C-alpha cells in the first residue's frame, strides 16, 4: 500500500484506543509501533525512528507535554513531527506550546486522524526536500 | 347849675377791712409766688368755671400767654380725644363742688401731647360760699408710658404663660396656688381656687422606677425648702387615675429682699415623647437583635460613606472591636489585592448613589482570607437625598470553592466521558470502513445510526464543557481570517452526511465574505442552528441557508418550515437552560443550552443573534458578524 513506507509510533495509556488507532492506521497501510506508557520512550523512539509520533497528552504517570518537550530537545528525534491528542479543553494551546507540531482533539473522526497523520508526514517531507535543495 | 348844698357822709371804721384786704392781697401774692415756684401747674377758676389764674409752671409747660389761657382759652390745649371726658368731669365737679382727679393729655410748648395728672379742689370763701376751684397738674407722661408698657407686658406674659404647652403655676411659701395657666388645669384635671387651694392635692407622684414619692420629695417642696432650682422627671397619677410622664422644673421665687415668697413650677407632659422614645428604643433593640442574629455581616454608613455601625457578625468574623475598625478603617480586613477595587467601587457608589456590589476577600480573625459578596444600597429620603448606606457582606467562600470544584468536575467529567466516546467512535468507524462495500444494509445502517448517536453524545459533552467555560469566563476565541461561505459549505456537507434525509439549500448574495472570527466556534453556531432546524422540523425536510453582507455585517440565516416558536418564547430562547415546552416539543431531547452558547459566542464576536418565527410555520434563526474587523 501507499503508506507502507511510513512508520508511525502511537503512545496512549488506554489499551482500547491504542489498538483502535493502530487498526485505523494499519487499515491505511501505515507501519505502526505502539507503546502503552512513557517509560524509556526516548531510546524506543531512537531505535524505531518513526516518521510520525502520535501521542496522548495525559499518560498515566507522565505528562505528555514534558515528554514532548524532551523529544524536541533530543537531537536525533527532534525533527520527527509529533501529533498530540487530548480530550481536555484548552489542551491544544498547551500541547503546541510544548513543541507538539499537530493537535488532534478527542473524540475525532477517523478521517481527521488520517488527514492529520498524512499532513504531519508531508510537513516533514517538505522540510527534507527543502533541506536537500539547500544541500544541492 | 347844680351846686352841692350840703355834704352828708358817714364815717365808718374800715381799718380792719383794709387790713384784711391788704392781708388778702398779700396772701394771694404770696400764693402766686409760691404757686409760680412750685414744680407743678396750678390754675384757679371762679364758680363760673372760668379760669382766671395760671401759674408760671403752666405757662412754661404750655408755652402760652396767660391771656390765651384765661377763661376757656386753656381748653385748646386739651387733647381732642380727652376733651369730652375731661369737661364732663370738670363741669360736674363744679356743680357738685367735689374734688376731682383725672388723667388727660395736654399740649406742651413743643406741641407734644403729654399725659398729665390733674386734681381739682373746690374753694370756699370764709363765709362758706363756693368760689370756684383750684387745680394742679403734673406731667406724668413718662411714668404713664412706663406703666402702660408694664401693663402691656404683663398682659403679654400672661398670654404667653397661658398659651404655653407646659403647665405653669406659682405658689406661696405655704404651697397655696397663686397663679396658674390653662395647661396646668389640664394637667391637674381641676380648676383650683387661687390663694386658697394647695398644689399638692392634684395628683400622686412616682419616680421613674414606680416608687411613690412623698410630698417633701417633690421638686416644689425642695425648691421652697432649700431655695434651689430642681429638675426631675417623674410620673404623676391624676385623680382620675390617668398616669402621665412629666418633666418638672421648680424654682423658688424671691421678693426684693431675697426672701423666698413662693415658688414657680413648670411641668412638661412628656408622655408622648416617652412613648416614642420607648418605641424607638424597642425598634432599635429589635433591629439590633435581628441584625445580630443574622450570620451575614451587616454594616451601615452615613451619606458620605463613613461606616458607623457593624453587627455582631462583623466583630465575630474579624475579631476586631468597633474602635479598632474605626481607627484603622474597614479596608484593613480586605485582602491587599482586593483593596483598590473595593475602595474605588465604594467611592463610586457614594458619589453616584448607585448600588455597591463586589466580590472580595475579608481577613477572618484566624488570618484566613475568605471570599465575601458585599452589597450596599443607599437609603434615600423622599426628596431623593441619600440618608444612609446599608450594606451586607455574605461569605461565599464555600460557594466559590464549590463552583470551582464544579467547573473542575465538569471539565474532568467531560474528559472522562470523551475517552470511551473516542474509543466507541473509532471502532464504529473502523467497522464502517470494513463493511463499506458490504451488501448487508442492516449492518451498514446500524453502524451509521450508532455513529450518529455518538456524534450527538459528543455534542452534548462539548456543550457541557462550553457552558462551564462561559461561566468561568474561559471561553477563548482563536480568531483568524476565513471565508465564511466556505465554512458554511463544509458544515452543510457534514450535516448532510449525518442527516441524509434533509435537503439543505445554501445560497449566498456575496461570493466572498471574509470575516475575522473563531472559525470553529462560528461553525459550532451554524451546526447548532442546523441541528435545531432539523430537530424541530419533523414534517418538513427543506432547510434554507443564506449569507449576505449588509451595513458592514455578514448576515447568516437558517430558515426551516418546522413547528415554530411563539412570541413569548422567542425572547427567552437564548437564555441558559431554556427549552420550549409544549406538546409537540416533548420528544426533542437536549440540555437547552445550545442557543445560549451560540448567543455567547456571537456576542463575544460583537455580533448579533436573533430569531423570527411563526408558530406552526417555521423559524428563521440568524446571526451577524462584523466584517471589517
Cβ of B419 within 8 Å of Cβ of A106? The answer is yes
Query: Measured between alpha carbons, how far is B395 from B373 in angstroms, rounded to an integer?
Result: 6
Q: Residue A134: which pLDDT band, with cuts at 50, 70 and 90?
A: very low
Cβ of A20 within 8 Å of Cβ of B415? The answer is no
pLDDT at B337 over 90: yes
Class of domain B294-393: alpha beta
The topology (CATH level 3) of B164-275 is Beta-Lactamase (3.30.450)
B433 touches chain A (CB under 8 A): yes
SS3 assignment, position B379: strand
**Residue B483, beta-bridge partner list:** B514
Cβ of A20 within 8 Å of Cβ of B474? The answer is no
Give the chain A residue whose CA is nearest to the CA of B416: A87
Chain B hits for A14, CB-CB cut-off 8 Å, are 419, 423
Cα–Cα distances in angstroms (integers) from residue B322 to residues A14, B295, B317, in the given order: 61, 18, 12
Cβ of B465 within 8 Å of Cβ of A21? The answer is no
Mean predicted confidence (pLDDT) in B479-503: 89
Chain B hits for A21, CB-CB cut-off 8 Å, are 426
In Å, the largest CA–CA distance within chain B is 210
Query: Measured between alpha carbons, how far is B184 from B269 in angstroms, rounded to an integer?
Result: 10
Cβ of B458 within 8 Å of Cβ of A108? The answer is no
- Residues A34, A11 contacting (CB under 8 angstroms): yes
Cβ of B458 within 8 Å of Cβ of A107? The answer is yes
- Spacing of C-alpha B506 from chain mean position: 66
Would you give the DSSP letter of residue B192?
Answer: P
Dump pLDDT digits (tens) for B34-59.
Answer: 888 877 899 999 999 999 999 988 99
Residue ranges covered by each domain of chain B: 29-142, 164-275, 294-393, 401-467, 476-626
Three-state SS for B156-186 is HHHHHHHHCCCEEEEEECCCEEEEECHHHHH
A33-37, B358-362, B404-408, B554-558: range with lowest mean pLDDT = B404-408
Cβ of A17 within 8 Å of Cβ of B427? The answer is no
Query: Measured between alpha carbons, how far is B365 from B297 in angstroms, rounded to an integer?
Result: 14
Dump pLDDT digits (tens) for A34-73.
Answer: 999 888 889 999 999 999 999 998 776 678 888 888 889 9
CA angle B323, B325, B329 (to 5 degrees): 125
- Residues A54, A11 contacting (CB under 8 angstroms): yes
Residues 6 or more apart whose Cβ sits within 8 Å of residue B511: B485
A87 touches chain B (CB under 8 A): yes
Chain A hits for B476, CB-CB cut-off 8 Å, are 90
Query: Measured between alpha carbons, how far is B144 from B79 in angstroms, rounded to an integer?
Result: 16
B425 touches chain A (CB under 8 A): yes
Dump pLDDT digits (tens) for B372-397.
Answer: 999 999 998 888 888 999 999 999 99
Nearest beta carbon to residue B430 from set A14, A20, A108 = A20
Dump pLDDT digits (tens) for B184-233.
Answer: 888 777 788 888 887 766 778 888 888 888 888 888 888 888 888 888 88
Give the chain A residue whose CA is nearest to the CA of B494: A109
Interface of B with A in 399-418 (CB under 8 A): 411, 414-415, 418
User: Chain A closest CA to B454's CA: distance in Å?
Assistant: 10
**B476-626 placed in CATH 3.30.565.10:** yes
- What is the predicted pLDDT for the residue at A136? 38
Mean predicted confidence (pLDDT) in B51-74: 91
CATH number, domain of A119, equals 3.40.50.2300
Q: Residue B285: which pLDDT band, with cuts at 50, 70 and 90?
A: confident
Task: Give me B36's grid cell.
Answer: 409760680
Dump pLDDT digits (tens) for B404-460.
Answer: 788 778 777 877 888 889 999 999 999 988 888 888 889 988 888 898 888 888 888
Give the chain A residue whose CA is nearest to the CA of B451: A109
Give the chain A residue whose CA is nearest to the CA of B476: A90
Interface of A with B in 7-66 (CB under 8 A): 14, 16-17, 20-21, 23-24, 27
User: Chain A closest CA to B484's CA: distance in Å?
Assistant: 21
* Domain assignment of residue A58, given as a range: 2-135
Cβ of B430 within 8 Å of Cβ of A89? The answer is no
Nearest beta carbon to residue B426 from set A20, A87, A88 = A20
Residues 6 or more apart whose Cβ sits within 8 Å of residue B426: A17, A20, A21, A24, A107, A110
Dump pLDDT digits (tens) for B85-115.
Answer: 999 999 999 999 999 999 999 999 999 999 9
The overall average pLDDT reported for chain B is 86
Three-state SS for B501-556 is CCEEEEEECCCCCEEEEEHHHHHHHHHHHHHHHHHCCCCCCEEEEEEEEECCEEEE
With residue A118 as reference, give the H or E element that holds it.
helix A110-135
Mean predicted confidence (pLDDT) in B508-536: 89
Q: Is B174 exposed, middle or buried (0-12, 13-18, 19+ CB in 10 A)?
A: exposed
Q: How many domains does chain A have?
A: 1
Mean predicted confidence (pLDDT) in B485-493: 92
A106 touches chain B (CB under 8 A): yes
B426 touches chain A (CB under 8 A): yes
Query: Measured between alpha carbons, how far is B488 from B543 in angstroms, rounded to an integer?
Result: 13
B423 touches chain A (CB under 8 A): yes
Cβ of B425 within 8 Å of Cβ of A107? The answer is yes
Best mutation target among B409, B411, B426 (most A Cβ atoms within 10 Å) is B426
Query: Measured between alpha carbons, how far is A50 from A77 in angstroms, rounded to an integer?
Result: 9
- What is the predicted pLDDT for the residue at B334? 95
Query: Measured between alpha carbons, how far is B135 from B113 in angstroms, rounded to an integer?
Result: 19
- What is the predicted pLDDT for the residue at A132? 46
Query: Measured between alpha carbons, how far is B567 from B372 in angstroms, rounded to an integer?
Result: 40
What CATH superfamily is the domain B29-142?
PAS domain (3.30.450.20)
pLDDT at B245 over 90: no
Give the chain A residue whose CA is nearest to the CA of B423: A17
SS3 assignment, position A99: coil
Amino acid at each position: 500500500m501507499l503508506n507502507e513506507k511510513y512508520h508511525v509510533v502511537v503512545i496512549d495509556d488506554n489499551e482500547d484506543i491504542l489498538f483502535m488507532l493502530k487498526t485505523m492506521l494499519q487499515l491505511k497501510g501505515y507501519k505502526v509501533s505502539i507503546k502503552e506508557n512513557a517509560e524509556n520512550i526516548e531510546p524506543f523512539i531512537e531505535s524505531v525512528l518513526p516518521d510520525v509520533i502520535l501521542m496522548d497528552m495525559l499518560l498515566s504517570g507522565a505528562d505528555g507535554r514534558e515528554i514532548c518537550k524532551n523529544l524536541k530537545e533530543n537531537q536525533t528525534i527532534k525533527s520527527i513531527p509529533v501529533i498530540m491528542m487530548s480530550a481536555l479543553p484548552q489542551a491544544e494551546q498547551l500541547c503546541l506550546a510544548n513543541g507538539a507540531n499537530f493537535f488532534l482533539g478527542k473524540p475525532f473522526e477517523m478521517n481527521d486522524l488520517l488527514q492529520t497523520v498524512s499532513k504531519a508526514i508531508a510537513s516533514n517531507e517538505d522540510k527534507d526536500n527543502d533541506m536537500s535543495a539547500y544541500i544541492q | 347849675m347844680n351846686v352841692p348844698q350840703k355834704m352828708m357822709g358817714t364815717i365808718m371804721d374800715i381799718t380792719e377791712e383794709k387790713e384784711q384786704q391788704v392781708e388778702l392781697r398779700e396772701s394771694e401774692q404770696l400764693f402766686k409766688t409760691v404757686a409760680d415756684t412750685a414744680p407743678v401747674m396750678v390754675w384757679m377758676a371762679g364758680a363760673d368755671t372760668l379760669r382766671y389764674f395760671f401759674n408760671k409752671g403752666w405757662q412754661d409747660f404750655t408755652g402760652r400767654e396767660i391771656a390765651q389761657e384765661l377763661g376757656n382759652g386753656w381748653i385748646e390745649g386739651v387733647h381732642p380725644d380727652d376733651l369730652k371726658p375731661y369737661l364732663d368731669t370738670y363741669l360736674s365737679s363744679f356743680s357738685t363742688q367735689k374734688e376731682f382727679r383725672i388723667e388727660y393729655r395736654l399740649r406742651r410748648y413743643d406741641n407734644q401731647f403729654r399725659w398729665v395728672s390733674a386734681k381739682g379742689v373746690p374753694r370756699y370763701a370764709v363765709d362758706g360760699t363756693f368760689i370756684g376751684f383750684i387745680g394742679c397738674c403734673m406731667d406724668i407722661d413718662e411714668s404713664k408710658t412706663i406703666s402702660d408698657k408694664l401693663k402691656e407686658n404683663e398682659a403679654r406674659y400672661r398670654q404667653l404663660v397661658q398659651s404655653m404647652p407646659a403647665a405653669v403655676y406659682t405658689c406661696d411659701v405655704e404651697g397655696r396656688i397663686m397663679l396658674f395657666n390653662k395647661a396646668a388645669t389640664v394637667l391637674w384635671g381641676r380648676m383650683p381656687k387661687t390663694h386658697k387651694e394647695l398644689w399638692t392635692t392634684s395628683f400622686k407622684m412616682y419616680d421613674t422606677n414606680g416608687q411613690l414619692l412623698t410630698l417633701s420629695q417633690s421638686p416644689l417642696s425642695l425648691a421652697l425648702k432649700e431655695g434651689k432650682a430642681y429638675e426631675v422627671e417623674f410620673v404623676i397619677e391624676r385623680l382620675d387615675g390617668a398616669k402621665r410622664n412629666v418633666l418638672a422644673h421648680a424654682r423658688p421665687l424671691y421678693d426684693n429682699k431675697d426672701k423666698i415668697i413662693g415658688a414657680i413650677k413648670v411641668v412638661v407632659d412628656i408622655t408622648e415623647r416617652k412613648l416614642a422614645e420607648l418605641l424607638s428604643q424597642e425598634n432599635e433593640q429589635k433591629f439590633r437583635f435581628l441584625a445580630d442574629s443574622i450570620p451575614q455581616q451587616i454594616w451601615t454608613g452615613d451619606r458620605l460613606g463613613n461606616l458607623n455601625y457593624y453587627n455582631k457578625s462583623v466583630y465575630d468574623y474579624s475579631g476586631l472591636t468597633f474602635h479598632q475598625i474605626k481607627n484603622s478603617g474597614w479596608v484593613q480586613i480586605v485582602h491587599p489585592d482586593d483593596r483598590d477595587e473595593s475602595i474605588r467601587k465604594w467611592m463610586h457608589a457614594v458619589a453616584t448613589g448607585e448600588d455597591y456590589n463586589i466580590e472580595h476577600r475579608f481577613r477572618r480573625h484566624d488570618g484566613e482570607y475568605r471570599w465575601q459578596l458585599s452589597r450596599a444600597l443607599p437609603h434615600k429620603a423622599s426628596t431623593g437625598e441619600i440618608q444612609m448606606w446599608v450594606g451586607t457582606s455574605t461569605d461565599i467562600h464555600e460557594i466559590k470553592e464549590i463552583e470551582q470544584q464544579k467547573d473542575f468536575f465538569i471539565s474532568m467529567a467531560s474528559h472522562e466521558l470523551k475517552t470511551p466516546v473516542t474509543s466507541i467512535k473509532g471502532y464504529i468507524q473502523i467497522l464502517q470502513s470494513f463493511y463499506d462495500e458490504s451488501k448487508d444494509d442492516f449492518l451498514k445502517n446500524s453502524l451509521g445510526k450508532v455513529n450518529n448517536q455518538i456524534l450527538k453524545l459528543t455534542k452534548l459533552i462539548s456543550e457541557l464543557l462550553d457552558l462551564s467555560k462561559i461561566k468561568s469566563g474561559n471561553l477563548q476565541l482563536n480568531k483568524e481570517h476565513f471565508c465564511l461561505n466556505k465554512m458554511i459549505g463544509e458544515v452543510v456537507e457534514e450535516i448532510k452526511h449525518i442527516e441524509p434525509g434533509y435537503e439543505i439549500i445554501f445560497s449566498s448574495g456575496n461570493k466572498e465574505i471574509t470575516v475575522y472570527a473563531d472559525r470553529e466556534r462560528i461553525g459550532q453556531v451554524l451546526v447548532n442552528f442546523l441541528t435545531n432546524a432539523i430537530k424541530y422540523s419533523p414534517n418538513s425536510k427543506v432547510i434554507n441557508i443564506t449569507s449576505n453582507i449588509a451595513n458592514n455585517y455578514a448576515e447568516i440565516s437558517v430558515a426551516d418550515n418546522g413547528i415554530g416558536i411563539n412570541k413569548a418564547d422567542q425572547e427567552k430562547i437564548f437564555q441558559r437552560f431554556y427549552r420550549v415546552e409544549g406538546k409537540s416539543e416533548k420528544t426533542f431531547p437536549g440540555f437547552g443550552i445550545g442557543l445560549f452558547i451560540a448567543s455567547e459566542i456571537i456576542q463575544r464576536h460583537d455580533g448579533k443573534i436573533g430569531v423570527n418565527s411563526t408558530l406552526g410555520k417555521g423559524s428563521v434563526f440568524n446571526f451577524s458578524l462584523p466584517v471589517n474587523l
